[in-house]
Structures are given as C-alpha cells and as structure tokens.
Amino acid sequence: MRIVYLNGDYISKSAAKISIYDRGVLFSDAVYEVISVIDGQLIDMERHITRLERSLGELSINAYAEWSAIAQKLVADNGVQEGVIYLQVSRGVMHERDYRWPAPDTAPTIFAFAQQRTLIENPMAARGMRIISRPDLRWQRCDIKTTQLLYASLMKMEAEAAGVDDVWMTRDDLVTEGTSQNAHIISQEGVLISHQLDRRILPGVTRIEMLAQAKAMGLTVEERPFSIDEAKQAAEASISSSTLLIMPVVEIDGHRIGDGRPGEKTGKIRQSYLAAVQTAVPITN
C-alpha cells in the first residue's frame, strides 16, 4: 500500500482526497518540488526547500511544514531506495470559484508522495538524448516552479510523436531550457555554457551541483544564452534535472552533436555529480 502525505496526515493513496474548489485544481495556483532519492537518501533537500520557499514567496502563498521530515518519512514508509518525492503546495480551498484569491490566512493544501524510479542506471545515459527545438510559449515567470505545465506536456507529446526524447524551447532564437530540464552545451574550446538565472528559466537544483563539478574539473563556465545553431556546432550537449540527473544530448533537430555519441566531458561531470551526491551527509530534520 502506497502511503502519501496530505495536510498533516500520512494515509493510503486511495484515501487521499482534495476539494474541487482547491485553487491548485482550478487555477494551477500551486508550486511543487521533485526531490531525487538515491540509496534511500534525499538528494539536495536543502536546496529544494530554498527554491520551494522562494516560489511560495513569489506567489504570496503562506505555507510552512517540516518539508524534510515529510519527505524522509515517505521514503521510509514506502521503502524507496531510488526514485523521487513529489511535493506540492496550493493556495488552498475557496468557497466559490473566483479569480481573486482568499484571505492570506487560508490554509494551504499540502501533499506529497513517493515514486520508485530508476535514476542512476538509466539507459539514456549510454545512448544520449535526441532533442528537437520548438518556440517557448510559456508564461514569463519560468523561475517560479508552478504546476501550470500544460505547454511542457504538449511539447513532451510532440517530442514523442516525432520519435525523439524531448524538446528544447527557444525565445528570440535562443535556447531557454528543456520541457523539464536545464540545457547546456560544451563548446569546441571546452567552455560549458548554460543559460543565466533569470525569469526565463527555472533555477535548477541539479544545475547548481553540475556547474560546481564542471568548475572543479577545470572547465570554464559561461552563464549566458546560446542558439540552436551554436548548439549544433558544440562539442557536447547535455541536460540536468532531478529525475534525469545529468544526461548527454547527442542530436538536435536531426543534427548530430560532435561524433553523435555521449560526450566524454559530460560523462565525467555526471560521474563526479553522482559521487558528490552519494557521499553527501544525509539531511535530518
């Protein structure tokens, strides 16, 4: 039986119920986090909490809980050795549907659940991802991790229909990010290029550690946008996310990146990242 968390209670999945008047249901007025679990340990939980609290603050949602304790209990209760914890907070329940939100003291809706998932031995790491590019038509506050993910879902389905793995989105001919990942390239000169943190991209938690490991390896890191054409001419390309960790990209819009195989530097960064997070001290709360 899968155990989930809902508003202070740990209950079975089938017993969890949310009101149809919840603003998360009606308006996607909610934020979320996805935390990796490796060897039964939460990965980068403190950074996820920092980002969650920032998202809540940007939307003026008044919510607090023992985030780490909730996630750790779900890992233990569900016997998760490798997978993710999904955590969501909405503004709460309204009496009637209304664009204006209720009073600041309205109780938020907080729920979380665990999913078993293969992270480390993902076969995509050996073969690399194939990507297509599409216009980025999302709203302009991509730095807030909200649940309004319809466009990302549409793009994932478009990628599936095209027989590829995912989409990189572009604005003004510059790559912003993937549908659920940050995007990166390594130039022919060995410079790792990643879009700077601003309102156009989500500040990825995995991205933080990835860039730190790249610098530790001696790579120069430039935080700036890059174009699809620049990506096609790159030596290597990759993505980073909590569910895919660090994954090589070998093709963009049918164009082979480098020699069409996962890049050597990307592979080393991935292994350094895994070594770093697997030896990190477990977070307690």
Q: How far is CA 64 from CA 11, 144, 264, in A?
A: 20, 17, 43
Task: List the catalytic residue out of 13, 73, 145, 265.
Answer: 145
Q: How far is CA 86 from CA 5, 70, 95, 99, in A?
A: 10, 11, 27, 26
Dihedral-angle region of residue 203 (phi above 0 means left; psi in -120 to 50 means alpha; beta otherwise): beta
Encoded tokens for 284: 């307690």
Pairing mode of beta strands 3-6, 109-116: antiparallel
Asked whether the beta carbons of 277 and 38 are under 8 A apart, the reply is: yes
Closest among 203, 282, 242 to 86, alpha carbons compared: 242
Rounded distance between C-alpha atoms, residue 50 and residue 107, angstroms: 21
Is 268 noted as a catalytic residue in this protein? no
Asked whether the beta carbons of 226 and 174 are under 8 A apart, the reply is: yes
Q: How far is CA 258 from CA 36, 132, 133, 159, 187, in A?
A: 30, 16, 18, 22, 10
Encoded tokens for 167: 């989409």
Rounded distance between C-alpha atoms, residue 95 and residue 224, angstroms: 45
Residues tagged active-site: 145
